[in-house]
Amino acid sequence: MQSNLVMFPSAEAGKISIQTKERTFTKYERAEEQFIKLLVTEDLDNKLDVEPARASEFEQTLSWAISAAYQSDRSDQQAHRFLQRILYRINRLKLFWYDDLRHYTNERSPYLYSCRNQIEAAWQKWELAQIDVAALQKLDVKQALIERASADLDPPLSQDSRYIREEMTEVGYSHLLAIASFDGLVEGSRLSRILGGTANEVQCTLVRVLLEEYGNGRLSRKHSTFFAQMLTEFGMNTQPEGYFDLVPWEVLACGNHNFLTTERKRYFLHYNGALTYFEVAGPAAYRNYLAAAQRLRLSEAAMGYWELHIREDERHGRWMLDDVALPLAEKYPDQAWELVLGYDQEKLMGDRATTAVMRSIREAEQAALLT
């Protein structure tokens, strides 16, 4: 089996015609390749102490990218992409991929954690600046969550939703599957990281959500199995991360944000607010994808995942609101606004990711017309 840690597909991310940007993009690529080698270097931290130049090019590019992405008036999209890819490569070490055990040699490397923290500090400040936190702190949290969930359960069709339902081609649909496989083939994994601890009703509800995502322990019923079946129907790669290079940085950011909020228990309310939005809003998006598949007259295997998710996530959304978010708001009245922050931030980042995915789909469809 190919290494999930080191060897990602090497598809070109696109050519940049402007010379200065071409040099910048090449610089990011070189730095990422250097970082990949660092990830699997035996005794990494001690070797860097002896020979710090091993990481010098990467570190210079990392500092450059942080400034270009988060501290500049003109945000550099390639810098965002580089940073989210680096952050993901570190974060994914927190999950087990059933691959070569040597890939986890640097799982607890202080150097890798310092890189992660350097990116996260600047990135999270940039993300938080897009939210009116002071206004959230003044809300009636329970009412705010109820109103938001009601609005997001069945929202009016957006322009993108109509495009998916009425115009997206089979090429666009398969491109959507390729990007969505990044999460769809390992879904639920990050949720598992917040389940440990004392027993109570909230914890048990979260466990029920996870168990349903995992088919109650049966691989044939696990949600990722249904997603893999859709990929198989199109003759596509069913390996996790098989289409990593197609994933927009905006989608990677959503995953990395989940890693952060599940890694730090201080963000427990933040994460559960985010998961509430994700489960509440999911069925509306899945109905768009299902409508597109039905219009294209695809087989049951090519759309079964969406039907399953519409049924189960409608239930999960109710559980998350009624049995997780609202009880947590009562238990932590002084910090309850963090539930709304998590909810709103997940929606904001999700909308940004959707815009990026739709742009990628249209580009793929246009490219197909020209071939």
- Digits of tens for pLDDT over the chain (371 positions)? 333 333 333 333 333 333 344 444 579 999 999 999 999 999 999 999 999 999 999 999 999 999 999 998 888 999 999 999 999 999 999 999 999 999 999 999 999 999 999 999 999 999 999 999 999 999 999 999 999 999 999 999 999 999 999 999 999 999 999 999 999 999 889 899 999 999 999 999 999 999 999 999 999 999 999 999 999 999 999 999 999 999 999 999 999 999 999 999 999 999 999 999 999 999 999 999 999 999 999 999 999 899 988 988 899 999 999 999 999 999 999 999 999 999 999 999 999 999 999 999 999 999 999 98
What burial class does residue 185 get, using C-beta atoms within 10 Å of its C-beta: 0-12 exposed, 13-18 middle, 19+ buried? buried
Assessment of whether the complete model's pTM goes beyond 0.85: yes
The amino acid that residue 66 corresponds to is I
Backbone angles phi, psi at 310, to 5 degrees: -60, -45
Whether 314 and 248 have beta carbons less than 8 Å apart is answered as: no
Residue 307 and residue 177: Cα distance in Å, rounded?
A: 15
End-to-end CA separation in angstroms for the chain:
33
Residue 343 and residue 179: Cα distance in Å, rounded?
A: 23
pLDDT given for residue 25 in this prediction: 58
Residues 6+ apart with CB under 8 A from 117: none
Walk me through the domains of the chain, giving residue ranges and CATH numbers.
Answer: 19-128 (no CATH), 133-370 (1.20.910.10)
Residue 100 and residue 304: Cα distance in Å, rounded?
A: 32
Q: What angle do CA 105, 109, 115 make, to 5 degrees?
A: 125
Cα distances (angstroms) measured from residue 357 to each of 179, 180, 363: 8, 9, 10
193, 191, 220: which is closest to 279 by C-alpha?
Answer: 191
- Tokens matching residue 201: 């009703």
Q: What angle do CA 310, 222, 245 make, to 5 degrees?
A: 85
